[in-house]
Amino acid sequence: MKKSDKPVEPPAEFLARMRDLLGTEEYAAFRQAFEQPPRAGLRVNTLKISIPDFISIAPFSLAPVGRWEPAGFIVTDESRPGRHPYHDAGLYYLQEPSAMAAAALLSATPGERVLDLAAAPGGKATQLAALMAGSAPTAPASALRRALDEEGLLVANDVHAGRAHLLADNLARWGAVNVLVTQDEPQHLGSAFGPVFDRVLIDAPCSGEGMIRRRESLEWSEAIVAACARRQRGILAVAPDLLRPGGRLLYSTCTFAPEENEQVVADFLAERPDFQLMDALRSDEFGRGRPEWAVAPPDIAGQLSRAVRLWPHRFAGEGHFLALMERQPIEGNAVEDAGRARLRPPSAEEMGLWREFADASLVVGIPDERLHAHNGRLYLRPKTDLPAGRVRLVRYGLLLGEVRPGRFHPAHDLALALTVADAAQSVDRPPAHPQLAAYLSGAGLPETGPDGWVLMAVDGFGLGWGKRVGGRIKNHYPHYLRRR
């Protein structure tokens, strides 16, 4: 949301350009949309809770975004869902409504290898992770237990180190286990992995015209649009190096500029005749692509209307462009067997410390053969994996914790993948309980019971760790997350 309720005034040059593109009548409705405040979106985490169960406990007023994304909602009151303990426990992700469309249209399914090429901060990646887990649980669920038997792998990448670590944090809060987080250039990923992915999402960096209502200001010029289009062509050109024949590619931007949308897609299709646009309309609120705004041969121009445009004057969200493409299958083609990742198993000492912790603190079994160690940390590797020796890794699977001299220290990521049914000891409180507020602020808590690690939870869902010693719980909630 904007810091001010005052509507953002779009740049005059941008408005003149949009008037020329849309024509007088549609432009008037488009311009009027910028006088309205943006909508707050919320998407339920179906890794952990069913949609009806969440609605039954939600302290916010919600309206569905549409049948195309059953887990998506618009917050219709003045509440602050980002400050609620359910958000800290990963029961939902705050996401602009239009941004939910990309992963929904790509429709990842269980067992697939999926790549989100420009994934930070993680909205679309968390949505893909939920889709890859299949149907929502019928009762509050442990993301860890669900993931232990799941096939499939999500690779979530961002080129910037800080954004890649934010991405990893958001996927951890979501409870995503079968995930590889990388921080690398698209071209390097293409050479390292090869065309092994069933689905690839490219949420391309763009001029951001579609998000004007959510910004304090917009630096805009035709030169910026042209520079973004050049960069987008370079990123999209890597897709064939990553997507298997028969796989699907979703190209999206949050801009209106035809040069970054229809024209980029048209140029790609001209160079890659083995790709074709698919009709991705899922709702009457979805607009079609505009072939007349691109320069393309007739056979390609005829495909461009299959793309999707989301307009703020037609849809309860911001501006987006989405193009779903399929790479034509090759007869007899099978997904390439990329082999197993070469990950270091824990040493005897590391394994001993882990087992000591797990035996005392967990009641969920984690297979020893799925553990791997890196730089003094223990991870649970996904059941499906990929060799990643030449890729800059941020996280490979679920971080379980750190091996410290003589002891094992559990990770915050592990707590967020658990429910109270997975922990030997827990302190479970309702959202408004003063002890919960104290814990999230970093305070210790008086709490009788056996010494040892305790899962701190809200309504059964893991929030973090505490360690009880002598009738008092020492707070291990991460310092950077604590509330003032």
As annotated, the active-site residues are 254
d(CA 148, CA 145): 5
Task: For residue 367, count other CB atoms closer than 10 A to its CB.
Answer: 10
**Tokens 């309504």 map to which residue?**
459
Q: How far apart are the first and last CA of the chain?
A: 21
Contact 287, 308 (CB under 8 A): yes
**Tokens 């690690």 map to which residue?**
453
Give 232's contacts (C-beta < 8 A, 6+ positions apart).
Answer: 204, 205, 206, 253, 260, 264
Give the distance, in angstroms, between the CA of residue 419 and the centroid of all CA atoms in the same chain.
21
From the list 412, 372, 366, 410, the residue with the least C-alpha distance to 389 is: 372
Contact 156, 166 (CB under 8 A): no
Strands 320-327 and 308-310: what pairing?
antiparallel
From the list 404, 420, 396, the residue with the least C-alpha distance to 357 is: 404
d(CA 153, CA 402): 24
